[in-house]
Chain A
Amino acid sequence: MTGSHRALTGAGNALRADAFDSPLRSRRLTAQLGLWLGIAFGVCFLTGLISHYIQHPPAWFWWPSRPVWLYRVTQGVHVATGLATVPLLGAKLWSVYPRLFTWPPVRNLLHALERATVAVLVAAALFQLVTGVLNVSRWYTAMPFYFTISHYVTAWLAIGALLVHVAVQLPVIRAALSRHRADEPPRPPEAGGLTRRGLLTTVAASAGLITLSTAGQAVPALAPLSVLGPRRPNLGPQGLPVNASAAATGVTHLATHPDYRLRLTGPGGTRLLSVTDLTALPQHTVSLPITCVEGWSADAAWTGIRIADLTALVGVPDGNAQVRVESLQTGSPYSVSILAPTHARDPLTLLALRLHGQPLHLDHGYPARLIAPDRPGVLQTKWVAAVTVEPR
């Protein structure tokens, strides 16, 4: 959407939208904001798609277990980019707002289709940012629907409408971004007030400030500056944040019961292991980040038994199998997670019993939790009840 003033100067503009038009609005401004916004949405779409596919892998999808920080980066970038997009989308919509009152509203079928696409794009873009911000701040009650699937489906809607919008506006965009833009005579600047460059700088500064004040939830060095970070990487039981507590998931009784046994099943049979049995197995310590889909992440030292060693106990010596990890927690879509062979055989993948040298805090998954490299936290199953080897 560009070229606001043309549409406005036409007679018959019922709302006299030019009454609040600003000389700052121009095709070039809109095209530049649009370019940035397009890049931001592209980054969010791709990183979001990665996160979705890791959690709901289609048959063709493969995700590596190294480097261990890869998901931490993609998801951190997803959330940080989304938050930084807020001023960008605001400025973009402001720059084309008078076009909302174009007169006549619809000229022909093609024009109607184009406007409908823009409406879908605006609605979907606002939906993504609003639900994203609400989710990061854990305000779930404000969203009367299931966040993850809604955010995912609307992402496809937004990116589709964005592509159509770019296709429709491509000649305008190219002309506005090129050096010779003869078709749009420069408008005399307002006395005082922001210039186009001033506004672009302001939008960039807003995005930068939002990033600085929140990114400390994933980048420990920024934590002191991040007065608006939804998390602090070192705040929580045992110095690590928690997403779902034992009390909220109702596992406290089962997890602390003396009769707790881990059910380990494979081609070689089933074994029931008590906490003492687990402690007697060879222990390894690894340093792995825990990364939440909400964007925060933190490094931690985990001690426990390699999943590959566990699967060897029940007849899969090479560890080349898919492993199903179930929680004591029931009724949640995240009470089960599947370890693909890549992750199952990785020596960094542990059934962890200890965190920073101490037995796991109940909220971190006592008596045993899964910790694997390069995966979202929702798949790092806590309060593990059963480990099942599923040979391919």
Chain B
Amino acid sequence: MRAVRLVLAGLGVAAMGYALWMALASPDLTPTRNATFLLLIVVLHDGLLLPLFLVAGLLVHRLVPPRPRAIVQAALIVTASVTLVALPLVLGYGRTADNPSALPLDYGRGLLLTLVVIWLAAAVAAGALLIRSAGRAAPRRGRPGGPGPPAAPPTRRGPAPGCRPGRPTR
């Protein structure tokens, strides 16, 4: 493993060196502008975007009851991902009057549609979870002496709610 690590590190340092050499040698590159932009997006990400997510996470923790919490968290993560990718399209600064074939769609509508799909799926998942837990909370209506299987299979249904938070089976 030591040899593998040395080779990887050597290749990595060489690649970074090549990048640095190109950055300094290429006449088309503007190293100070690139470095400023580089720094700016790191500061924005680490100093603004990620703390925002952490605050959102904290709010979800405070406001959403444990049972549907995972679904809400998942829906929020998907929402954030899609929104980040779609934002430049929605803002539409890339549109030009001379070329209507570039960015031809209504991306605000597209994003909205996608978000509706995400939260509908989340609502369905939460609904299914509620129905399932309601079924578990209700007294067993099974007929112990009936012809069916004597007891519910131990899998899936799990213990009564409150015993174990368990991960949502979706």
Partners in one complex: yes
Chain A residues packing against B (C-beta within 8 Å): 20, 22, 83, 86-87, 90-91, 93-94, 97, 100, 117, 119-120, 122-124, 126-127, 130, 133-134, 137-146, 149-150, 152-157, 159-168, 170-171, 174, 189-195, 197-199, 201-203, 205-207, 209-210, 213-214, 227-232, 235-237, 240-245, 247-248, 363
Pair A154/B1 contact, Cβ less than 8 Å: no
Q: Tell me which of B13, B41, B58, B105 contacts A20 (CB under 8 A).
A: B58
Question: What residues of A have a CB within 8 angstroms of the CB of B109 in the complex?
Answer: 227
Pair B165/A189 contact, Cβ less than 8 Å: yes
Q: Tell me which of B16, B41, B53 contacts A130 (CB under 8 A).
A: B41
Pair B61/A228 contact, Cβ less than 8 Å: no
Q: From residue B101, how far is it (CB to closest CB) to chain A in Å?
A: 3
Is B86 in the interface zone, CB < 8 Å from A?
yes
Of B27-35, B139-147, B149-157, the one touching chain A: B27-35
- Contact A164/B12 with A206-B78, A227-B113, A241-B101 known, Cβ cut-off 8 Å: yes
- Contact A157/B94 with A192-B67, A227-B114 known, Cβ cut-off 8 Å: no
Q: Which of A124, A130, A140, A227 has the most CB of B within 10 A?
A: A227
Can you give 16 contacting A-B residue pairs, CB < 8 Å? A20-B58, A86-B84, A126-B41, A137-B93, A141-B93, A142-B88, A145-B30, A157-B15, A160-B12, A160-B17, A170-B5, A193-B61, A193-B70, A206-B78, A227-B111, A235-B104
Bound: A248/B102 CA distance, A: 13
Pair A157/B66 contact, Cβ less than 8 Å: no
Is B23 in the interface zone, CB < 8 Å from A?
yes
Question: What residues of A have a CB within 8 angstroms of the CB of B96 in the complex?
Answer: 138, 245, 248
How many residues of chain B have a CB within 8 Å of chain A?
79
Question: What residues of B have a CB within 8 angstroms of the CB of A195 in the complex?
Answer: 70, 167
Pair B89/A198 contact, Cβ less than 8 Å: no
CB nearest to A206 among chain B residues = B81
